[in-house]
């Protein structure tokens, strides 16, 4: 008897499971499916990302609903459009042998009328983002008064994004006696509260230990000057020629900028964030899945829960504001039994956050050095050698062989190798030969040390004045012109706030705020006796959904970061198409079967991405000498 059968799943589902090539249930599936099938109870399940939670609630829900009826019986709330679509697609696959099944995705940014029409056809299961769902219930387009099962998927993230009120309102339209199943990777207090409020004696299932990052992921941090962030990112990428990564930035604006810089510099990169249309986001995700994009630069909101195979690296270009978010970021790699690396590029002023993250994820970070130019050249050379060794010979070349032989006759094998490799090596070497060491001395400063060179201020404005920590930080940063990391530990209270600067700036700060007025009100700043705490992470009071959606963050101070690492060359258009065709044109994705779990099917989802290099134009050098002339290089 198949392991899935022993969980109590029916034949139509078992058939679909066989079709998908799932061989054995994952741990969370094994623990939840029998319980959910047997009883109508509430359940809280905590499991890391990539452990198969969708099927853990999807299989039981599909088995329990009545497909003969057109009534909406199941509701799944999830934080983002991408996730919503991903779950919908998975459920359709799981339920493909259920005749009459209609699963409908409801999410913002697409036609509400179209969605309403789909619902009218009779959707037994609705998968929705909270915002749009609330909207449609309000307009009486959706009736959830008869649902029997409600799933809160990625509950921690929904709450992080400020969906608490929307969820409360949505659930107020649902019957009291429904079963609620909450799935989450982490269990912060907010999630506990929601479980208390909306659930009746939920059974709790934990897979692995809650709040702990995947054991498959190793964590590294790199200490650099804030202005070298981008240069450091490039080096990390250049030292990993096969990198297939998600790069996280804090704001939409930074996301867009970093992606644009990478593209200009010749990498196969793209941005994904909330300012893109649904269509654009789908396109980006598709190219990423097909490995045509090697570096996906993303906001936390846009990348949430995205399940793409074999991501090798997660790079935290900037640390998230919330420690919880780090778990989600690093969970994009090391999925389904694979290993992955989560890298953090960190400046001195933020390095203390590393320890807090370690505590949370219960894993140690390794402090690593940004690779030197020499190291990168070496990595690239051996990567190339490897590629050459593994390349299948194209016999169409055979006809030209005699002439080629003639042309190269005078060279020994050794000389040929040298010449051949010089083609690639020279441009890396030229670019990196004068490169400086980007590493900053020192490790994590202790808390006390941290306080030593820093001044904490009290300021008499706060949430009452419509500031949250982020707007206040931006306001101060711009006003004081201290650069991106010049103002930190911003902690906003109701009618006052605190913030820190390096103590060298004390005089400046006090002089700027002497007789300072804001909209007719006098604003005063004093040095605080409380040298201490908090701010940064702890301070999100605004409760607004997705600070990512605000695209804020002053432009000042960012310039330095760019200039050091870019050539002036503008003629990029010829690179634009780049290697698009180099990636596998059709990596079998929608099939839903992923590596790592045992599965029968082969032929898709192969381990190694089939691209040869991340560069569109092939590289890094300002001019194209020596490589055929047609490709433009940039630094």
Q: Which of 45, 46, 55, 223 binds ligand ADP (CB under 6 A)?
A: 55
Q: Which of 12, 49, 216, 497 binds ligand ADP (CB under 6 A)?
A: 49
Interface with ligand ADP in residues 564-593 (CB under 6 A): 592-593
Interface with ligand ADP in residues 425-484 (CB under 6 A): none
52 binds ligand ADP (CB under 6 A): yes
Q: Which is nearer to ligand ADP, 184 or 347 (CB)?
A: 184
Q: Compute how many residues bind Mg ion; rule: CB under 5 A.
A: 1
597 binds ligand ADP (CB under 6 A): yes
78 binds ligand ADP (CB under 6 A): no
Q: Which of 7, 12, 32, 50 binds ligand ADP (CB under 6 A)?
A: 50
Q: Tell me how far, at minimum, the Cβ of 344 lies from ligand ADP, in Å.
A: 22
By a kind-dependent CB cut-off of 5 to 8 A, residue 271 interacts, out of Mg ion, ligand ADP, none, with: none
SS3 label, residue 380: helix
Interface with ligand ADP in residues 303-332 (CB under 6 A): 307
Closest CA to 350 of 370, 330, 326: 326
53 binds Mg ion (CB under 5 A): yes
By a kind-dependent CB cut-off of 5 to 8 A, residue 63 interacts, out of Mg ion, ligand ADP, none, with: none
**In Å, how far from its chain's centre is CA 547?**
15
d(CA 221, CA 57): 36
Closest CA to 231 of 79, 347, 366, 126: 347
d(CA 312, CA 322): 23
Torsion region of 50: left, alpha or beta (phi above 0 gives left; psi -120 to 50 gives alpha)? left
Looking at the DSSP bridge assignments, the partners of residue 184 are 46
Q: Which is nearer to ligand ADP, 336 or 490 (CB)?
A: 336
Q: Which is nearer to ligand ADP, 9 or 119 (CB)?
A: 9
How many other C-beta atoms lie within 10 A of the C-beta of residue 19? 16
22 binds ligand ADP (CB under 6 A): yes
Q: Which is nearer to Mg ion, 53 or 332 (CB)?
A: 53
The DSSP output letter for 348 is: G
Radius of gyration of the chain (CA): 27
Q: Tell me how far, at minimum, the Cβ of 26 lies from Mg ion, in Å.
A: 12
Query: 203 Cβ partners below 8 Å, 6+ apart?
Result: 35, 41, 42, 43, 44
By a kind-dependent CB cut-off of 5 to 8 A, residue 592 interacts, out of ligand ADP, Mg ion, none, with: ligand ADP
CA angle 125, 129, 130 (to 5 degrees): 105
By a kind-dependent CB cut-off of 5 to 8 A, residue 597 interacts, out of Mg ion, ligand ADP, none, with: ligand ADP
Asked whether the beta carbons of 138 and 106 are under 8 A apart, the reply is no
25 binds ligand ADP (CB under 6 A): yes
By a kind-dependent CB cut-off of 5 to 8 A, residue 476 interacts, out of ligand ADP, Mg ion, none, with: none
d(CA 577, CA 616): 7
d(CA 399, CA 58): 57
d(CA 227, CA 210): 36
Q: Tell me how far, at minimum, the Cβ of 324 lies from ligand ADP, in Å.
A: 15
Q: Compute how many residues bind ligand ADP; rule: CB under 6 A.
A: 19
């Amino acid at each position: 008897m198949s392991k899935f059968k022993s969980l109590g799943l029916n034949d139509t589902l078992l058939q679909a499971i066989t079709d998908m090539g799932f061989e054995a249930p994952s741990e969370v599936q094994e623990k939840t499916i029998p319980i959910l099938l047997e009883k109508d109870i509430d359940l809280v399940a905590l499991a890391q990302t990539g452990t198969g939670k969708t099927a853990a609630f999807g299989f039981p829900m599909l088995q329990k609903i009545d497909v003969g009826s057109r009534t909406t019986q199941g509701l799944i709330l999830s934080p983002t459009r991408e996730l919503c679509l991903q779950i919908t697609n998975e459920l359709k696959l799981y339920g493909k042998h259920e005749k009459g099944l209609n699963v409908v995705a409801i999410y913002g940014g697409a036609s509400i009328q179209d969605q309403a029409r789909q619902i009218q056809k009779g959707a037994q299961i609705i998968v929705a983002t909270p915002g749009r769902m609330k909207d449609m219930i309000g307009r009486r387009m959706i009736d959830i008064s008869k649902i029997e099962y409600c799933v809160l998927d990625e509950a921690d993230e929904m709450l992080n994004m400020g969906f608490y009120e929307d969820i409360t309102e949505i659930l107020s339209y649902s019957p009291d006696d429904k079963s609620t199943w909450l799935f989450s990777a982490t269990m912060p207090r907010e999630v506990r509260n929601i479980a208390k409020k909306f659930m009746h004696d939920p059974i709790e299932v934990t897979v692995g230990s809650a709040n702990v990052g995947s054991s498959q992921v190793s964590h590294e941090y790199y200490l650099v000057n804030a202005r070298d962030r981008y240069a450091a990112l490039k080096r990390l990428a250049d030292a990993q020629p096969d990198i297939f990564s998600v790069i996280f930035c804090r704001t939409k604006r930074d996301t867009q900028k970093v992606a644009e810089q990478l593209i200009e510099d010749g990498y196969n990169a793209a941005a994904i964030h909330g300012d893109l249309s649904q269509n654009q986001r789908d396109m980006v995700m598709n190219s990423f899945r097909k490995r045509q994009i090697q570096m996906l630069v993303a906001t936390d909101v846009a990348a949430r829960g995205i399940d793409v195979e074999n991501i090798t690296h997660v790079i935290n270009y900037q640390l998230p504001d919330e420690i919880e978010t780090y778990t989600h970021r690093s969970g994009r790699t090391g999925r389904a039994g694979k290993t992955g690396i989560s890298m953090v590029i960190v400046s001195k002023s933020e390095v203390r956050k590393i320890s807090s993250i370690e505590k949370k994820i219960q894993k140690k970070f390794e402090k690593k050095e940004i690779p030197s130019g020499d190291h990168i050249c070496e990595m690239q050379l051996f990567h190339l050698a490897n590629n050459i060794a593994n390349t299948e010979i194209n016999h169409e070349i055979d006809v030209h062989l005699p002439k080629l032989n003639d042309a190269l006759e005078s060279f020994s094998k050794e000389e040929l190798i040298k010449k051949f490799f010089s083609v690639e090596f020279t441009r890396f070497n030229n670019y990196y030969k004068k490169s400086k060491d980007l590493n900053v001395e020192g490790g994590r400063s202790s808390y006390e040390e941290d306080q030593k060179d820093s001044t904490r201020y009290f300021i008499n404005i706060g949430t009452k004045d419509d500031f949250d920590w982020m707007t206040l930080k931006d306001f101060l940063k711009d006003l004081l012109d201290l650069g991106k990391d010049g103002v930190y530990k911003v902690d906003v209270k109701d009618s006052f706030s605190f913030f820190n600067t390096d103590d060298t700036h004390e005089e400046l700060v006090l002089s700027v705020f002497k007789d300072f007025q804001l909209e007719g009100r006098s604003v005063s700043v004093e040095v605080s006796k409380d040298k201490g705490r908090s701010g940064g992470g702890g301070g999100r009071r605004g409760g607004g959904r997705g600070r990512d959606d605000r695209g804020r963050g002053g432009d000042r101070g960012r310039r330095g970061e760019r200039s050091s690492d870019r050539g002036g060359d503008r003629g990029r258009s010829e690179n634009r198409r780049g290697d698009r065709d180099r990636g596998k044109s059709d990596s079998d994705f929608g099939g839903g079967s992923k590596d790592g779990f045992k599965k029968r099917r082969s032929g898709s989802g192969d381990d190694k991405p089939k691209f040869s290099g991340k560069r569109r134009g092939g590289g890094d050098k300002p001019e194209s000498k020596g490589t055929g002339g047609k490709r433009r290089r940039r630094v």
